[in-house]
Each structure stands twice: as C-alpha cells, then as structure tokens.
Copies of this chain bind each other. A is one copy, B any other.
C-alpha cells in the first residue's frame, strides 16, 4: 500500500521578503520521512486571506494531510485561523477550552489575557485542539488540515503532538555513496540502474572536493534489501 501523502503551507510575509529563513518546512520534511508519510509539496504564501484560502483548499483536496505554519498569534497580521474557517465555510469564535488554556497560562506567568491574546482562542467549528507545551496558545486540526504556530520551537512541539495521531506508512530509507567522479561521468550508468530499480528513487548531487568534481549518489526507498542491492551494484560498476 502506498504511503500517506502530505503538504505544508508556510504562511508569512517575513518568509517571502527574505527577512526570515524558514526552518519549519525542513523540520517537518525530516519528521514525516521518519513517520512514513510522503511530503509531496510545499507552498509559501504571505499574510493574505485569499491566498491562504486558495492554497489550503487546493492542498487539502490533493493530499492526505496538510500542515500549516504561522499566522496564529495575537497580532493583526495573524489571520490564518479565520482564513481556514472561511476556506471550509465554517464559523469561528473564541472557544471555552482554548480560553481556559490561555487563562491558566497567563495567570501563571503574570500577564493579562487581553483582547489581543484572546484572539488566540478563536478556533474554527469542529476543530480539535493541538497542544502547545511552550506558550499554551493551541494549534488545531480541522478535517485533514493541521494548523501550527510559526515560531520554530512551538511548531516543532506541535508536530510532536500531532504526528502520533496520524497513521504513518513505511518509513523511507536512504543510503548514499560518495563518488570521486563528476555526475556527468556516471549519469549513463545511474540511468541504467534507475531503470532496473524502478521501486527506488536514485538521486545524484554534485559537490566539489579539493577542486575535483564529485557526486553524492542517494538511493531512497522503503525496502532495505532492494536498497542494499542497488548500492552493491553501484559499487561494483564503479569498481569501489
């Protein structure tokens, strides 16, 4: 059976302006690979309701799971929760259990649960909360969309809360072989091996070492024995 598929939507003007370098997509890619869920697409859009809605609808239809990152904080540019409620045509309002989480957190830390902070308890109808062990304000899952915070420490904690709920597949394994030849030199042989191992994905990534062209050949797949067979053949044909 094929692995479940996933997409991520990274939301925030600061990503597209180049002010902030996204780390959440990279983290999620690694966690999903371990869980046997294939990350098939990533998109990044700004703080724009229409763009968030369109992307969420398209990705929710195309993949088993969608993760979003960013836009669920207390400020005016945090519009993700409202955009997602609109995308699915459901209502959104402050929810008691989310408000209770915030109230307890701000009482314990000595801050005021003011109207801006209370916005973080606005949850679309029918959603399930995602725990935020860092700063209390929850994420939520609605249908197949998991809405997570953008701050990397919180995003990562929320991924850890959500992933155990999802049915994974066969973890993708990978092996690599570093070869002291340029990729143009070994491309013909790699193409032959790729044809004989259609169940594997064989990638070739060039790098330079001491001025010489080298290649990192990466073989990926779910079946460890096939992976070993492909790597062994590669070694033989390269005379390693």
CB within 8 Å of B: which residues of A? 10, 12-22, 25-33, 38-47, 51, 73-77, 111-112, 114-117, 119, 151, 172, 174, 182-185, 187-188, 190-191, 194, 201-206, 218, 220
Contacts and interface: CB of A to CB of B under 8 A. Distances in A.
- Interface majority SS on A: helix, strand, loop or mixed? mixed
B41 A73 contact: no
Contacts of A202: 76-77
Nearest to A118: B184
Copies in the complex: 2
A19 B30 CA distance: 7
A26 B16 contact: no
Contacts of A18: 26-33, 39
A33 B14 CA distance: 11
Nearest to A25: B44
Given A190-B76, A204-B77, A29 B16 contact: yes
Contacts of A19: 174, 218
B114 A184 contact: yes
